[in-house]
Structure 1
Amino acid sequence: MKKSEQTKLKISSAACELFCEKGYSATSTSEIAKRAEVSEGTIFRYFATKKDLLLYIATYGIEMFAEDIAIKPLVDLSEKYKDESIEKFLYELVMNRYKLMEEHKSIIMIFMNELSFHNEIQELFRKEIGEKVNDILTKSFDNFFKRGVFRDDINTRSAMRYFSGMIFVIFMEHVHGMRDENVSIEEDVKIAIDIFLNGVRNRN
């Protein structure tokens, strides 16, 4: 790797860490320079603005894991568990996505934190990941609807939205260490699936 490429990688890696830790807005280029062990002027030789650096990281992140890490495993999982119980499918689905988040926490947290503030990142995420993941999950949920697993008066979009909302909260609690009780992610996911499928009303 050329020295210029190594320097660019050091800068983007340092920025990625800091954006994840502090957020984009709260991170200064001087902090990035210090973390990367380069001068602040060096950053601007590679990136005209801090926003350009953020977009570079987002684009690199998409190229790095979108297809092989985020999309293909989801396709394989959906095919593998299409004839299993809904409980088994949902559990394997959620744990697969949690493992992905754990392994690529920095870049994923940047996407989650900055999506609302940068139209360029929104469009990049929607086109390269969001739409593809949505299509895969829609087909999987449709399969279970056809098997009669879900109620007839609930559509696929609603079921996916409600379940995703529950899982998002669990992910945030575990990733950020916000879970008060000593409950593992595996146990928490099983509880969420049970509540999603059966509700919270007393069955007695």
Structure 2
Amino acid sequence: MDRPEKDDAERRAQERWLEELLRAAEDDRPKMTDKQARIVNAAIEIFAEKGYSAASTSEIATKAGVAEGTIFRHYKTKKELLFSIVSPLVAKLVAPLVLKDFFKVLEAPYPNYESFLRAVIRNRSDFARKHLPALRILLQEIPFHPELREPYKDLVVEGVLPRIRRTVERFQAEGALRADFPSDAVIRLTVTSAVGFLFVRHILLPDYPWDEDAETERTIDFLMHGLAGPRE
């Protein structure tokens, strides 16, 4: 896919995400006016491209085709505009729906840990492709805004970790994984490698000519066998 086609695909993805965001938020706030929708759409694109700090309300206004003062009639600050975009997504779209889909993968039976890893990485990679604009904003801003992390805490601690822990402890009991590592250490090392690969693949170097299947298998091989060469 050449650059213009990729740009068109990303714009279409952003438009679909905006539609999902508006549907997710419609129960909690009045219906957006056309100008508000244009402001939010422009902000999504600019926040995703430049990050919150580098984005300016003047360029958001220009992209939305409105006066800058119009933004401040709807949103008191740039941060309020950001949260109007991200908070409904985190609370009502990303957190519950993404993890609900993820639960299906975590609950499936797997013959070995490699199969579990393969399913998890592919599932999360598919999600990243579908929701890339949203993920860029979340990854850029969550470290600096603790209130954006809140919707994830209970879902991850109570929903995701116990499911992964059961899988890890099952394979430890069967002798397929090291039993001298606590299960939480195995999870940490797994998440670090898998998420690191997905971050580089989709966020840091999305235009690199990745062989995604091969890189997935290398990530799995690393998790199962490490980087050390054969011992003599």
Residue 133 of structure 1 corresponds to 160
- For the pair 1:45 / 2:70, whether they are aligned, the reply is no
Report the RMSD for the aligned CA atoms in angstroms: 2.5
Identity %, equivalent residues: 29
Within 5 Å, give how 1:4-153 maps onto structure 2.
Answer: 4-62=32-90, 63-68=92-97, 70-80=98-108, 82-127=109-154, 132-153=159-180
In structure 2, how many angstroms separate the alpha carbons of the residues matched to 1:76 and 1:43? Answer: 41
- The alpha-carbon deviation at position 20 of structure 1 amounts to 1.1
- The alpha-carbon deviation at position 31 of structure 1 amounts to 1.1
Number of aligned residue pairs: 202
Structure 1 residues 100 and 131: alpha-carbon distance in aligned structure 2, compared to 1, 3 A threshold: farther
Is the 1:19–1:110 Cα contact (8 Å) retained in structure 2?
yes
In structure 2, how many angstroms separate the alpha carbons of the residues matched to 1:67 and 1:156? Answer: 25
- The alpha-carbon deviation at position 144 of structure 1 amounts to 2.6
In structure 2, how many angstroms separate the alpha carbons of the residues matched to 1:181 and 1:105? Answer: 16
SS across alignment from 1:112: helix
Is the 1:74–1:136 Cα contact (8 Å) retained in structure 2?
no
Structure 1 residues 194 and 132: alpha-carbon distance in aligned structure 2, compared to 1, 3 A threshold: same
Structure 1 residues 161 and 65: alpha-carbon distance in aligned structure 2, compared to 1, 3 A threshold: same
Structure 1 residues 34 and 181: alpha-carbon distance in aligned structure 2, compared to 1, 3 A threshold: closer
Q: Deviations over 1:67-120 (max 9, x none)?
A: 22x11221111222x332211110110110111111101111111111221121
Q: TM-score, normalised by structure 1?
A: 0.86
In structure 2, how many angstroms separate the alpha carbons of the residues matched to 1:26 and 1:36? Answer: 17
Unaligned runs of 5+ in 2: 1-25
Q: TM-score, normalised by structure 2?
A: 0.77
In structure 1, how many angstroms separate the alpha carbons of the residues matched to 2:64 and 2:230? Answer: 57
